[in-house]
Chains A and B, each alone.
Chain A
């Protein structure tokens, strides 16, 4: 059994990875190699991130690819405009 904190650590590592490399396109096995983690836990973490819609998941199983979904950004919200 994998400790929950390990999955969360990996979730956060993956999040940081994609924030730092926003145009990375990764499979769970590819990313697990980059991060030096087990493929199984990496996949678990990636799927959770996809559920949170931090990542976009294409395909299923081992061939599924993940990429970062940029959050919704508004750089100039005018406070004085009408809602």
Chain B
């Protein structure tokens, strides 16, 4: 095929998957089960073409009434009747055999309409209906003729096909004669949720981003999130960096990771095991050569913590010895001597002095010449603050301190048990944080859910499963 400029589908994300778009005049099968949004996809292709690229389109429906489609699509803010008035769109309904007859006829109605509006894009909904007309051989000939007619007029087109997993073992013949296949699916996700995915199975004349990508219906149509996380980042956090949590599946939920300079809360209930979760996030920072400040909790000594981190294949002790890891310690506990100089002991520090002491110790470190280019990561255990310094202190101190650190571009993860601190404090903390990751045990499973994120996305609950290798947990 001659290399021509790709036709942008205009469906957000799809053109990325297709590295620009669809070759002009290509005939693409758009298949999917009922409810996957084939009509919306098809119509969005035409509306985007009409509005943004000045490419008028024809939507041919065999079963659905145009008026129904006009109505349904107003939900996405598309005024199809207005586009028709501007001669940028035609929503035509007719029977399959009539379409065929009119297409094959010289100067038939199809050609008339194509010329009338200068049509560039066509959607046929759906070619499955051709199976009702004539036998297998006829159907093949018919679809083949239609494809040729599309090519002749350089009409970039989507042929919608009903798809069912059980429809038979043999490959539908359309797959051979069309230029591309796009499949929409609804995949079960846990018991209650379903995930919408889109996959480009074939596209002649262009590279494709392989694999299944998630898509959603948003207020103005379909929105595809390409599955490569870096592609996803750009829509969600743009230029800003994200810090990986070390758990791929969690990074996916967070659109790549925890955005740099944000405050994330990990809320656990008493039964939940958050050790691997936190350890993974922390060790990933070490691995990425970031600098860290950690507030030690009462039930984990620094040595135990360091040993856990070793399991992830990085050395906390080494980082500390290089002056890249510091620890805030509320408890008088002995540690290996090698780590002592990295400890900021605050066990004797009163509430009134606390902020000042901390700043005096940390600010020179944050601002020192050789470390100021580094990324800083702070882990804060709020349970310790509350038990050692009280709720009132937390409310006074927390927001102020966090915003100061954020202004320095420091990324903060705090850990807390919302259930134990009361709703008022919990909602205060939730407001102050940019993101909340909640994990809890219910029955035999532990769950994790991102309930707040800077991008506004809220995930479905996922089950946390243990795995033998690091990071030892994964989300299902």
Contacts and interface: CB of A to CB of B under 8 A. Distances in A.
Direct contact between A and B judged by beta carbons closer than 8 A: yes
Nearest to A21: B66
B395 interface: no
Interface residues of A, number: 14
A42 interface: no
B462 to A, nearest CB: 45
A24 interface: yes
Contacts of A22: 66, 84
A6 B299 CA distance: 85
Given A27-B98, A30-B95, A21 B65 contact: yes
B91 interface: yes
- Please classify the interface of chain A as helix (H, G, I), strand (E, B), loop, or mixed, using the class held by over half of its residues: mixed
Interface string B81-109: 00010000011111100100110000001
Contacts of A26: 93-95, 98
B94 A25 contact: yes
A27 to B, nearest CB: 6
B91 A23 contact: yes
A25 B102 contact: yes
B109 A23 contact: no
A21 B254 CA distance: 45
B95 A27 contact: yes
A27 B94 CA distance: 8
B289 interface: no
B67 A20 contact: yes
Nearest to B96: A30
B116 to A, nearest CB: 10
A19 B291 CA distance: 69
Interface residues on B, range: 10 to 19
A30 B94 contact: yes
A30 B94 CA distance: 8
A36 to B, nearest CB: 13
A65 interface: yes
A9 B447 CA distance: 60
Nearest to A24: B93
Contacts of B90: 23
A26 B94 CA distance: 6
B267 to A, nearest CB: 53
A20 B66 CA distance: 8
Contacts of B93: 21, 23-26
Contacts of B113: 23
Contacts of B94: 24-26, 30, 65
B206 to A, nearest CB: 32
A27 B102 CA distance: 13
A21 B98 contact: no
A24 B66 contact: yes
A34 B65 contact: yes
A23 B90 CA distance: 7
Given A30-B98, A65-B98, A25 B92 contact: yes
A37 B18 CA distance: 46
Interface string A1-36: 000000000000000000011111111001000100
Contact of A24 (B84, B92, B101, B102): B92
7 contacts: A23-B84, A23-B91, A26-B95, A27-B95, A30-B95, A65-B94, A65-B109
A-B pairs with lowest CB-CB distance, top 4: A25-B94, A20-B67, A21-B66, A24-B93
Given A21-B91, A23-B92, 11 more contacts: A21-B65, A23-B84, A23-B91, A24-B65, A24-B66, A26-B94, A26-B95, A27-B95, A58-B109, A63-B101, A65-B109
Interface of B: 65-67, 84, 90-95, 98, 101-102, 109, 113
